[in-house]
Structure 1
Amino acid sequence: MSDLPNPKSQIKNPESQNWFESWFDTPYYHILYKDRDYTEAQLFMDNITNYLNLPEEAKILDLACGKGRHSIYLNQLGFDVTGADLSENSIAEAKKSENERLHFVVHDMRKPCDEKYDAILNLFTSFGYFENDADNLTTLKAIQESLTEYGFAVIDFMNVHQVIANLVAEEVKTVDGIDFKIKRFHIDGYIYKEIDFEDKGQQFHFTEKVRALTLEDFENLMEEAGIYLLDTFGDYKLKKFHKSESERLIMVFK
């Protein structure tokens, strides 16, 4: 693996050492994950917006929105939506779908937003990427500062216990003629995914690295941030969270 190109060499900002700034800005990220179940995702957004009982004119922030597919759906439900993501390429693509009540911005989730929102949604394990653990607390505080007085935030994270228990160590996933060789492992409090593939005669190597945060970890962070955890769910149908069984860890707070 040492002779493979280092993804950090592709990062636009040479001072940055974050894996996600290179990987998420490549077309290969979107190729690998193109078959995600968006019907299930839309069901989740139907359920969570109903649960939050948001007014029709509610302003929603889709934090770490990628190319904006879920922002677009939330907008179709009638909400005033802003999608925010660190990837300039993803936001450039998402902006093609903008309208009067749907906007996209390049934004670092560690920083509070200029506007206040009635709901902030951080979907599909888009948290815990940072090298510095303090950034997780900084992000929670930034979310808190970006909410209206009566606003709600939702973090949809993996259920670490279930993921680790069912970790597939190695697999090859072929998408669009590219063989993505994937290795997964859990070490030092992180879940890693090593991704190797070849395209057009060039070898590529990327690493995904997510902090293995449990509900207890989130509760400690939220207590430190002065955040009130209202409810937890274990799947997109909003069933009760069970540590050993649930697919997801969905937290609602204000």
Structure 2
Amino acid sequence: MSEDATPAVLDTKEPNQNWFASWFDTPYYHILYKERNYREAQLFMDNLTQYLNLPEKAKVLDLACGKGRHAIYLSQLGFDVIGADLSENSIAEASKNSNSNLHFQVRDMREKMDNQFDAIFNLFTSFGYFENDADNLKTLIAIKESLTEHGFAVIDFMNVNQVIANLVPEETKTVEGIDFHIQRYVKDGHIYKEITFEDKGQAFHFTEKVQALTLQDFQAMMEEAGIYLLDIFGDYKLRKFHKTESERLIMIFK
């Protein structure tokens, strides 16, 4: 994928605002990332569902689903899908695609779902953006408790070693006539992306921020959560994970 779906915060004086939700609730997030590779995402879903050998009409949760593009495709593959996300605007948009085997709901990923699922997918670096480390563990436990006895979960995260080694400090992307000025850096165990731009005479500034979690970090959290890590892949073709070279860190667990 061209960019990870990392969360962000709009500059604000409201201290209690959910900082990681605000960016997703603006149209600019979807403008900046409109050129994502949808075909690559579909191939990933094909490879993943075939690897997991999910039964026909399996119940699948797309956790942190955004506008639901992966949930929509999973439903087209014949699965019974729920897409869940904290962003009310994204869920409102995704819900336009609802049908008998595709539903969407506003949920906090730290909370156990009302249903249990044969598979739970947390895709494209939609993890590691809480201020409190305990919330990462809480999310893993919620995923575990939302699985059926024989269910599988998948977290698709960036490979932080590869990302940091290849970090582009500054660039400008022009999309729909808007010049997005982007700065990237690593600080206090997080990868930051500062995004500034102007539109219709108004200046905007957002900060994307995601924890630089390594495989070892996930293994420690999973052990604490009582989760069994089954397999690890390094890209969307499900090739072997290499610590320094792989673009992704894809973890299959139950």
Aligned runs of 1:4-43 on 2, under 5 Å?
7-9=10-12, 16-43=16-43
For residues 253 and 20 of structure 2, the distance between their equivalents in structure 1, rounded to whole angstroms, comes to 26
Shift of residue 67, structure 1, vs aligned partner: 0.3
Aligned runs of 1:140-159 on 2, under 5 Å?
140-159=140-159
Show structure 1 runs of 5+ residues with no match: 1-5
For residues 42 and 146 of structure 2, the distance between their equivalents in structure 1, rounded to whole angstroms, comes to 24
The one-letter code sitting in structure 2 at the alignment partner of 1:196 is: T
User: In structure 2, do the counterparts of structure 1 residues 94 and 181 end up closer, same or farther at CA, with 3 Å as the change threshold?
Assistant: same
The one-letter code sitting in structure 1 at the alignment partner of 2:236 is: Y
The one-letter code sitting in structure 1 at the alignment partner of 2:26 is: T
| Contact 1:18–1:130 (Cα < 8 Å) also in 2 | no
The one-letter code sitting in structure 1 at the alignment partner of 2:161 is: H
Q: Secondary structure at the match of 2:25?
A: coil
Shift of residue 16, structure 1, vs aligned partner: 3.3
Q: Which runs of 4+ in 1 moved over 6 A?
A: none
Tell me the equivalent position of 1:83: 83
For residues 222 and 143 of structure 1, the distance between their equivalents in structure 2, rounded to whole angstroms, comes to 11
Q: Secondary structure at the match of 1:113?
A: coil
The one-letter code sitting in structure 1 at the alignment partner of 2:86 is: L
Shift of residue 97, structure 1, vs aligned partner: 0.3
Tell me the equivalent position of 1:97: 97
Q: Secondary structure at the match of 1:89?
A: helix
For residues 75 and 15 of structure 1, the distance between their equivalents in structure 2, rounded to whole angstroms, comes to 39
For residues 11 and 22 of structure 2, the distance between their equivalents in structure 1, rounded to whole angstroms, comes to 7
Q: Does 1:250 align with 2:253?
A: no
Shift of residue 8, structure 1, vs aligned partner: 4.8
Tell me the equivalent position of 1:124: 124
| Identity percentage of aligned residues | 76
Aligned runs of 1:191-210 on 2, under 5 Å?
191-210=191-210
Using the TM superposition, name which of 79-88 and 16-25 deviates more.
16-25
Q: CA RMSD in A?
A: 1.1
| Contact 1:19–1:208 (Cα < 8 Å) also in 2 | no
Q: Secondary structure at the match of 1:9?
A: coil
| Contact 2:11–2:205 (Cα < 8 Å) also in 1 | no
Tell me the equivalent position of 2:219: 219
Aligned length: 246
Tell me the equivalent position of 1:111: 111
Show structure 2 runs of 5+ residues with no match: 1-8
Q: Secondary structure at the match of 2:151?
A: strand
For residues 168 and 102 of structure 1, the distance between their equivalents in structure 2, rounded to whole angstroms, comes to 38
Q: Secondary structure at the match of 2:223?
A: helix
The one-letter code sitting in structure 1 at the alignment partner of 2:97 is: S
Shift of residue 20, structure 1, vs aligned partner: 1.8
For residues 18 and 249 of structure 2, the distance between their equivalents in structure 1, rounded to whole angstroms, comes to 24
